[in-house]
Amino acid sequence: MVVQIDLTGRTALVTGSTQGIGAAIATTLARAGARVAVNGRAAAGVRRAADTLRTEVPGADVIEIDADVASDEGTARTLDLLPTVDILINNLGIFGPTPALEISDDEWRRYFEVNVLAGVRLTRAYLPGMMERGWGRVQYIASDSAVVIPAEMIHYGVSKTALLGVSRGFAKAAAGTGVTVNSVLAGPTHTGGVEGFVAELVGDDLPWEEAQREFMRQHRPQSLLQRLIEPEEIANMVTYLASPLASATTGAAVRVDGGYVDAIVP
């Protein structure tokens, strides 16, 4: 049997999708036939990402949404440009190392505004329409840090922990409607931002492959994969969960973590 994912006729919004995991998700959804909205704060960055997607997926139907969805104004602009979606991927997120005792109240608030409330607002806006139509997919891109709180950035970890509760709660709100809501626990992933993060922790004088290995050895020794995950590997799981094939998976925290979380259940 050949397993095929066909999202033809579905519209997807991927927040924070001008680079990294978000861009990979947008591309993979487009390859499956979805109409994809690429989102970012800057119009130029959104245009570049959309043009790259069109090049990688000829014939892709791409919408450009330059809006900061971590703000009320940006959310309103997004809803104006894209009133309904079938697939909502809450990918937008920020991270960065700060000693636990030096994280200010303002920084805690910023992490919750961007990493948690942005997705909550969009879900609150789009979920009712999905429920009325009897089909929809909502996903939150969480992290292994939701379960294994990193000592160097507990504000990030706690914001991702919140997403697990948020997704489970909205899944209950959508029970029996044909809409699924899940979170995806992404493990340490190779992105441009993470390259900078790795350099900050292990030094910027090492070749990338050596720096990556040193980072995994020092800071992520639990990983069974023993390498950084590629964004496309996260995107493959997200696209599966967005498809009809995953119709019985909801309220779940699905791991794509390279075995980083030391547990035998999700």
Q: How many domains does the chain have?
A: 2
* Same structural domain, 213 and 250: no
Q: 115 in a domain, yes or no?
A: yes
Residue 242 has, within 13 A of its CA and on its CB side, a CA count of 37
* Same structural domain, 248 and 224: no
Q: 3 in a domain, yes or no?
A: no
75's CB contacts (< 8 A; 6+ apart) are: 67, 69, 118, 121, 122, 125
Q: How far apart are CA 223 and CA 170, in angstroms?
A: 30
* pLDDT at 3 (0 to 100): 75
* Same structural domain, 153 and 215: no
* Same structural domain, 203 and 114: no
CATH of the domain at 71: 3.40.50.720
Element (H, E) at 241: helix 231-241
* Same structural domain, 85 and 151: yes
Catalytic residues: 156
* Same structural domain, 161 and 212: no
Q: 6 in a domain, yes or no?
A: no
Confidence of residue 2 (pLDDT cuts 50, 70, 90): low
* Same structural domain, 172 and 235: yes
Confidence of residue 192 (pLDDT cuts 50, 70, 90): confident
Confidence of residue 201 (pLDDT cuts 50, 70, 90): confident
* Same structural domain, 141 and 222: no
50: left (phi over 0), alpha (psi -120 to 50) or beta: alpha
| Structural domain range at position 215 | 190-228
* pLDDT at 50 (0 to 100): 98
Facing residues of 63 across strands?
Answer: 37
Give the pLDDT confidence of 208-264 residue by residue, as tens digits: 888 988 999 998 898 999 889 999 999 999 999 999 999 999 999 999 999 999 988
* Same structural domain, 53 and 148: yes
For residue 266, pLDDT over 80 is answered with no
Q: 263 in a domain, yes or no?
A: no
Q: 1 in a domain, yes or no?
A: no
* Same structural domain, 202 and 160: no
Unique residue bearing structure tokens 């496309």: 232
For the sheet containing 62-66, what is the strand order? 62-66, 35-40, 11-14, 87-90, 136-143, 179-186, 253-256
Q: 39 in a domain, yes or no?
A: yes
Give the pLDDT confidence of 208-223 residue by residue, as tens digits: 888 988 999 998 898 9
* Same structural domain, 210 and 81: no
